[in-house]
Amino acid sequence: MAPSSVPDRPGKYALAPSSSGIVWPGPRKLSWAEAAPFGPGLDRPEPDAEAPGGDLILCFHGFPSTPLCYRLVEKAAKRRGFELAAPLMPGCGTVPCDILEFGYQDWIGFGTNLWRRLRPRWKRAWLVGTSVGGSVALEIAAAFAADAALAPNGIATIGSPVVLNALLRRGMMKSALLYFAGALSPLVPSMGAALPDPDRPGEDGDERWRGYLGTYTAFSHSLQKGLRSLERRLPAIRAPVLALHEVRDRMIDPRNARIIADEAGGGGKAIFLDMGDAGHMRHDLLLYDSTRDRAWSAIMDHFDAIREAGAGPRGRMD
């Protein structure tokens, strides 16, 4: 697929700057048209501050992926009365070398600034994140837990990490390489970086995935350090959390879902899906045809229950 141009139009793709002052994607070229951000405040107007909208779900994709998975559930969300906004996270959707400019803290800053801008325009707002996008969602929830005007009403994570390497503390080891990533990154910033073959055969919708292949040592190092802080701050979260995970996820240890559900201060629930003999990564549950409806219905049911109960900051129905 030929790269598509992202217009540099204020209010459409020019998002609030991240903590490093970078606007993404701005005038960059996308490698896939479906990688473009979408939703209120991204590719269409957001509600006026004087007339806030009803319910917004801000959705963060994983590393180094794109918002495509959320396009697949946008109509289902609308049927339940929710608007979706899904940004393109810094460094993604263009070419792999762009991700080398960013670390986990840049993603947090980017997501936090976008949330700070969008949250006041809605009566209720919710956070969903896939993989590292779920970690960002938890970071935002912890940061604004005590602020009634900016706290989320509910959160859902999909295959998200709060622990990668913690062999003694948790009995979990994602990769020994993470311990050396900081030293390696100046010498070997990436390994196997490439775009996927658009004509590759696929299974269960996996062939539609859009993102970068390879290992990115600097981001991995920043993620390992950042998640240790997030793990300690899970009790600060006050919004109810739903953590989804596949029982044999090949990317992130499924035990993360139980940690999130058990240690989040607002209460949580973990749901584990079993994909049987699936040969793909078993990671992005909204991408796969076999799990999309189950995973998204669980998230919608979680948010609906909170909404109907009138729980959480600014969550009571008018």
Q: Is residue 318 in a domain?
A: no
pLDDT 10s digits, 79-116: 999 999 999 999 999 999 999 999 999 999 999 999 99
Look at residue 136 and tell me whether its pLDDT is greater than 90: yes
Q: What is the mean pLDDT of residues 131-142?
A: 98
Q: Is residue 314 in a domain?
A: no
**Lookup: tokens for 61:** 């994709």
Q: Is residue 317 in a domain?
A: no
**Closest alpha carbon to 291 in 276, 269, 302, 306:** 276
pLDDT at 179: 87
Strand partners, 224: none
Percentage of the chain surpassing pLDDT 90?
Answer: 81
Number of domains present in the structure of the chain: 1
Q: The tokens 């979260």 sit on which residue? A: 237
d(CA 10, CA 231): 36
Judge contact between 121 and 209, C-beta under 8 A: no
Determine the structural domain holding residue 18 and report its residue range: 4-309
Domain containing residue 304: CATH number? 3.40.50.1820
Percentage of the chain surpassing pLDDT 70?
Answer: 90
Strand partners, 157: 129, 243
pLDDT at 58: 98
pLDDT 10s digits, 20-75: 445 677 667 899 999 999 999 999 999 998 899 999 999 999 999 999 999 999 99
Across the chain, what does the average pLDDT equal? Answer: 90
Look at residue 314 and tell me whether its pLDDT is greater than 50: no
Q: Is residue 203 in a domain?
A: yes
pLDDT at 27: 67
Q: What is the mean pLDDT of residues 187-192?
A: 94
pLDDT at 157: 98
Look at residue 137 and tell me whether its pLDDT is greater than 60: yes
The dihedral over CA atoms of 175, 178, 184, 186, expressed in degrees to the nearest 10, equals: 130
Q: Is residue 122 in a domain?
A: yes
d(CA 292, CA 124): 24
Q: Is residue 196 in a domain?
A: yes
**Closest alpha carbon to 237 in 159, 127, 106:** 127
Q: Is residue 125 in a domain?
A: yes
pLDDT at 8: 30
pLDDT 10s digits, 222-271: 999 999 999 999 999 999 999 999 999 999 999 999 999 999 999 999 99
Q: Is residue 316 in a domain?
A: no
Look at residue 283 and tell me whether its pLDDT is greater than 60: yes
